[in-house]
Amino acid sequence: MNHFSKFNLSAIQAKEAAQRIAFGPVMFQAAQAMRRTGLLMTVRNARNAGITLEDAAEQTGIPVYGARVLMEAGLGMEVFTVDDNGLYRITTTGYFLLFDDLTIANLNFVDDVCYDGLAFLEESIRNGKPEGLRVFGKWDTIYEGLSRLPEDVQKSWFAFDHHYSDGSFPLVIKIVFELGVQKMIDIGTNTGKWALACLAYHPDVHITMMDLPGQLQIAERRVREKGFADRTTAIPVNILDENAVIPKGHDTIWMSQFLDCFSEQEITSIVRRCYDALDENGKLLILENFWDVQEHYVAALTIQMTSLYFTALANGNSQMYDSRVFIKAVEAGGFYVEKQINHIGEAGHTLLVCRKKPIPPTH
Ligand SMILES: C[S@@+](CC[C@H](N)C(=O)[O-])C[C@H]1O[C@@H](n2cnc3c(N)ncnc32)[C@H](O)[C@@H]1O
């Protein structure tokens, strides 16, 4: 569904929308301050009775001045309403800021991981490098430093990543095993969530986990703790090394939220190596979020904005893709899409079931 072919805004509405962009960072910081001071919760707890800003300040323990600027800003942000008696009440948007998992994961991810680095977005776009990553360390990509990021940053990164996968893994696992899986490689295994889900789901399945060494160690530890070590193999890899080989002898290769970490040319190179690893009946299964196939505008918006994290912080050359661009890169690696299942879970994942073309890709 194309949510972007037309916007029906009057001129004054468009001017308002432009101000929301101009003051976007201000609204963002205000929302975080309202959450962290407890102001948002205080107004919510007043429910229908409403609360004055003086009472909200007292109950929250912040100065009246602070409560006043935040709560007045909250009106323009449509987080609060105020009646003629000066009583503030929370809106549905305010509820989402407080309680919605997607909103919380996105807020914390933008705050802890992206905010400072995004100041270098223009430079990143001009140079094709994640120039914002310098706020954390001297790495070429964020993945090299992921296990060494400050604890709160890691926490928000993982919460963001897991929010998307957690909702969809239980839905997709049934479809995957119906395709017949005995021995699967999970490339970009991260903390081993998918591997663990598969090992628990199927008593005989063997999973080969591949990732950069830092992440792989976490996955290996978790698999050991759950008693699945004998049905797993762990292979540390930097997949960007063109000489990195994907082992043969597996019927399925799984890549979830992995190929979006790479440029189109890199996707094609990785997929080509998958081609070499699988036999003619092998399956390449890809789970991704594509902005162009989303049922809901909010999902498309979230995915589009996430792309800029990749630009400024992650690697400077990848994104959350338009499915048509992505599939072209996969096809160039020697596969065709046998089946495309869209709209999986709240995060709107797509599962691509890919098969080898009879003629190998040119190297
Ligand atoms: C966005 S996470 C996805 C994790 C998991 N598959 C999921 O669906 O939640 C991407 C993973 O790719 C790994 N990765 C990124 N660049 C890599 C590289 N060059 N070589 C190997 N793994 C890499 C990261 O370490 C990370 O674990």
pLDDT in tens, 17-74: 999 999 999 999 999 999 999 999 999 999 999 999 999 999 999 999 999 999 999 9
**All CATH 3.40.50.150 domain ranges in the chain, comma separated:** 159-356
Atom 12 of ligand 1 has which residue's CA nearest to it? Answer: 188
Residues 136, 141, 145, 150: is their CA dihedral positive or negative?
A: positive
Domain with CATH 1.10.10.10 in the chain: 11-99
Reading the chain (363 residues) residue by residue, the pLDDT tens digits are 899 999 999 999 999 999 999 999 999 999 999 999 999 999 999 999 999 999 999 999 999 999 999 999 999 999 999 999 999 999 999 999 999 999 999 999 999 999 999 999 999 999 999 999 999 999 999 999 998 999 999 999 999 999 988 889 999 999 999 999 999 999 999 999 999 999 999 999 999 999 999 999 999 999 999 999 999 999 999 999 999 999 999 999 999 999 999 999 999 999 999 999 999 999 999 999 999 999 999 999 999 999 999 999 999 999 999 999 999 999 999 999 999 999 999 889 999 999 999 988 876
Architecture of domain 159-356 in CATH?
3-Layer(aba) Sandwich (3.40)
Whether complex ipTM tops 0.95: yes
**178 in Cβ contact with 138 (< 8 Å):** no
- Phi-psi group of 38: left, alpha or beta (phi > 0 → left; psi -120 to 50 → alpha; rest → beta): left
Say yes or no: CB of residue 320 within 6 Å of ligand 1. no
CA of 345 to the centre of ligand 1 (A): 21
Q: Which atom of ligand 1 is nearest to the CA of 214?
A: 25
User: With a 6 A CB cut-off, is 262 part of the ligand 1 pocket?
Assistant: no
Query: Ligand 1 within 6 A of 209 CB?
Result: no
* Ligand 1 pocket, residue 218 CB under 6 Å: no
* Ligand 1 binding pocket includes 211 (Cβ within 6 Å): yes
CA distance 349 to 338: 17
Question: Looking at the DSSP assignment, which residues form a beta bridge with residue 353?
Answer: 285, 339
Could you name the CATH architecture of 11-99? Orthogonal Bundle (1.10)
